[in-house]
Amino acid sequence: MQTENALQSTIDAIVQDGKGLLAADESGGTIAKRFKTIDVESTEENRRAWRTLLLSTPGLGQYVSGVILYEETLGQHADDGEPLPSLAARQGIVPGIKVDTGKIALAHASGDEITQGLDGLAARLEKYKAQGARFAKWRAVYNVSETLPSRLAVQANAESLARYAAICQEAGIVPIVEPEVLMDGGHSIDRCAQVTELVLHEVFHALHRHAVVLEHMLFKPSMVLPGKTYARQAGVEEVAARTVSILGRTVPPAVAGIYFLSGGQTPQEASAHLNAINRTGRRPWPLSFSYGRALQEPPLAAWRGKPENVKAAQQALLERARLNGAAARGCYDAKEEARSA
């Protein structure tokens, strides 16, 4: 009962109307690529400064209820010595942690990938809890083509996601289950919808087998989008309709909340799509955001690694969070944003 109460308390703190999640859990390689775009070296100090900037943004808790951190960040401190998870919590933002250890090629399945990190996970979760983490995230990725993902990849990744989620709940940590159908490639929106439906069915079958309590987990899917290089890019309303349709066929109503990843979308596209999704018809779950690049890109461009730009960067982050908070309510106005840009 104590574990159930802890899980429910975390769900209640995260699932709030008009609020979403900030994904600040980039691996060392990914954040190095992001920093390279602004000519900043990816040192531990620069990463600490950047994530301190994000978490200390005044008012961020109005629109962001949780933050997904990288393991390094859990142990870092703000300039005044306050642990970064504590800094987030003081803003009313629940600290979480990415627990998978990345993806590798799936053996005997050319072109497919599998996510690692189950070994020793229970022990790591106890350590992360002591550092302030209350929820976790595990990402599985699915490459798309006429033949990918293979049945093996769909089943293997679903099994890993479910095992991870079960281990988290046993430890009193809320799991975010993230199956990402990648935007990379030249596939149509029809192919994306087909793959997404197959993947999500398999994930929830696996979660059921592992007795994962749906009320005590969060779901982080990708939206149904054509591949980046496909000739006909879908309109905002089509993306919303296809996405909600697939979710309705695959995601049980008991799931506590759906927090979309942004993938390769621009900040504006991610907001517009989320807004349209929330303006569609019948849906049993809260639909919000768990964005990384789509929240961080504008403040990163404003910061450029310079202390004198911190306030401007924080203002850019707060504005992007505000717009996504509006989109989570179906109140985002793309024309208004374009006029003020």
Kindly report, residue by residue over 221-254, the tens digit of the pLDDT. 999 999 999 999 999 999 999 999 999 999 999 9
Residue in this structure with the two tokens 């980046």, named with its chain if needed? 228
Alpha-carbon Rg for the chain, nearest whole angstrom, is 19
Say which amino acid occupies 319.
E
For residue 281, what pLDDT is reported? Answer: 78
Which pair of tokens denotes residue 338?
């374009």
pLDDT of 188 above 70:
yes
pLDDT of 194 above 90:
yes
Catalytic residue among 178, 202, 269, 297: 178
Q: Give Cβ neighbours of residue 17 (< 8 Å, ≥ 6 apart).
A: 286, 328, 329
Rounded to the nearest integer, the mean pLDDT of the chain is 96
- Domain total in the chain: 1
For residue 341, what pLDDT is reported? Answer: 59
DSSP-derived letter for residue 332 is -
Which pair of tokens denotes residue 130?
């002591």
Q: How far apart are CA 103 and CA 109, in angstroms?
A: 14
Query: What CATH number is attached to the domain comprising 238?
Result: 3.20.20.70
For residue 333, what pLDDT is reported? Answer: 87
For residue 1, what pLDDT is reported? Answer: 75
Average pLDDT over residues 17-28: 97
Residue in this structure with the two tokens 């803003």, named with its chain if needed? 91
CB 294 within 8 A of CB 266: yes
Does residue 220 carry a catalytic annotation? yes
Residue in this structure with the two tokens 């979308």, named with its chain if needed? 265
CB 242 within 8 A of CB 293: no
pTM score of the predicted model: 0.97
Task: List, in sequence order, the alpha helices (H) in 221-309.
Answer: 236-250, 267-278, 293-303
Catalytic residue among 26, 98, 220, 297: 220
Average pLDDT over residues 61-76: 97
Backbone angles phi, psi at 20, to 5 degrees: -135, -160
Does residue 178 carry a catalytic annotation? yes
For residue 334, what pLDDT is reported? Answer: 79
For residue 339, what pLDDT is reported? Answer: 62
Q: What is the pLDDT of residues 313-324, one digit of tens each?
A: 999 999 999 999
What percentage of the chain exceeds 90 in pLDDT? 96
pLDDT of 338 above 80:
no
Q: How far apart are CA 104 and CA 112, in angstroms?
A: 9
CB 173 within 8 A of CB 133: yes
Q: What is the pLDDT of residues 109-140, one digit of tens each?
A: 999 999 999 999 999 999 999 999 999 999 99
Which pair of tokens denotes residue 308?
């004198």
Task: Name the β-bridge partners of 219.
Answer: 177, 258
CB 142 within 8 A of CB 153: yes
Q: What is the pLDDT of residues 45-54, one digit of tens each?
A: 999 999 999 9
For residue 337, what pLDDT is reported? Answer: 74
Residue in this structure with the two tokens 């809890």, named with its chain if needed? 129
pLDDT of 78 above 80:
yes
For residue 340, what pLDDT is reported? Answer: 61
User: 25 lies in which domain range?
Assistant: 2-340
For residue 237, what pLDDT is reported? Answer: 97
